[in-house]
Amino acid sequence: MPIIESSYNNPPFYLFNGHLETIVPSLLRKIEGVNYFRERITTPDEDFLNLDWSTVGSNKLLIISHGLEGDSRRHYAMGLVKLFNQNGIDVLVWNNRSCGGELNLQPVLYHHGSSFDLDTTIKHVLKTRSYEEIVLAGISMGGAQTLKYLGENGPSLPSQVSKAAVFSTPVNLPSSAATLKLPSNRFYKNRFLGKLKKKMAAKGEQFPELIDSELLKTVTNFDQFDTLFTAKLHGFKDAADFYRSVSPDNWIKNIEVPVLIINALNDPLLGKKCYPVKLAESKPEILLEMPSRGGHTGFTLFNEEFTYAEKRLLEFLIQG
């Protein structure tokens, strides 16, 4: 499949670089009029997931996977919910473990490779609802989870799951993780790391025998955090083993349904290997769109409620 030429032009004039395109919407964008009802389900390991629904009586369902330290209330999730609801589509946003306002029960959190929880969510939907078609959307980390899920299931993917689209996605996780070491990305590193350290400290209160709270206070970068805590909790050797093992490009070649990947070339959190050009050129199921602008989960349109990425996902998943 040829690389798709993007129709996203320049963002508003005041968002004049990739950092502003990323940070301003993240801090200031508000979506009104989305009302969820929550369903809690039990996971196979006796933990729980909170599923937030916004339904309009459709026979089609969009399932959204959110980004790192996000949840169903993030602007990019609520924008998709509102837009798809307006176009007659039911939406479900599943919250990763420890996200969405409640700390989970087991001695784990979540990570880019937590496709097993997306699998649990989809199996629950198929068991309890009668949707004719299910489409998937993933944002940033949620895009990595979505791609991994699709590749893991390959030909055994449920027949109701017809398409997927992801944006601002770390297709190659080691390449993306490396960007957080750049001085220019200190803001993102500090923001994400600060949130994750607080969450890990709370997990340490649940399981003091597993988590050294004093050691946690000394962590200053993601290599330390992921080696000493993420890898230890989730069964990896160290940070490098974790990034390499869960990176979605290990599975993308096995995907058998149409998938759109939108990654902006000026995304400050994506390294060069996050743009799978050769794979998209050789594999018809993978459509790769690389706008020159957009930042990370930005894609702002001047004086419009919805972003380019949200409108593009509607076009690809429902109207295309």
Give residue 87's identity as a one-letter amino acid code. N
Residue 9's pLDDT band, with cuts at 50, 70 and 90, is: confident
Residue 265's pLDDT band, with cuts at 50, 70 and 90, is: very high
pLDDT at 204: 94
HSE of 249 in the Cβ direction (CA atoms, 13 Å)? 19
Give me the domains of the chain, ranges plus CATH numbers: 18-172+247-319 (3.40.50.1820), 178-245 (no CATH)
Instruction: Provide the CA 128 distance to its chain's centre, in angstroms.
Output: 24
Question: Per residue in 63-75, pLDDT tens?
Answer: 999 999 999 999 9
pLDDT at 63: 98
Question: Per residue in 220-263, pLDDT tens?
Answer: 999 999 999 999 999 999 999 999 999 999 999 999 999 999 99
What integer best gives the mean pLDDT of the chain? 96
pLDDT beyond 80 at 2: no
CB 260 within 8 A of CB 289: yes
pLDDT at 1: 55
**Structural tokens at position 236:** 């990896």
For the segment 170-199, the average pLDDT, to the nearest whole number, is 96
**Structural tokens at position 275:** 């743009």
pLDDT beyond 70 at 192: yes
HSE of 71 in the Cβ direction (CA atoms, 13 Å)? 15
* Sequence-ordered list of residues with C-beta below 8 angstroms from that of 44, at least 6 positions apart, any chain: 120
pLDDT beyond 60 at 308: yes
pLDDT at 4: 94
Residue 185's pLDDT band, with cuts at 50, 70 and 90, is: very high
HSE of 246 in the Cβ direction (CA atoms, 13 Å)? 29
* pTM assigned to the model: 0.97
Compute the chain's Rg from CA coordinates: 19
Segments of 73-223 assigned E as strands: 90-95, 133-139, 161-167
For the segment 112-133, the average pLDDT, to the nearest whole number, is 97
Query: Phi and psi for 200 in degrees, rounded to 5?
Result: -65, -35
CB 174 within 8 A of CB 240: yes
Ramachandran quadrant class, 2 (left: phi over 0; alpha: psi -120 to 50; beta: rest)? beta
Query: What span, in angstroms and rounded, lies between the C-alpha atoms of 174 and 274?
Result: 9
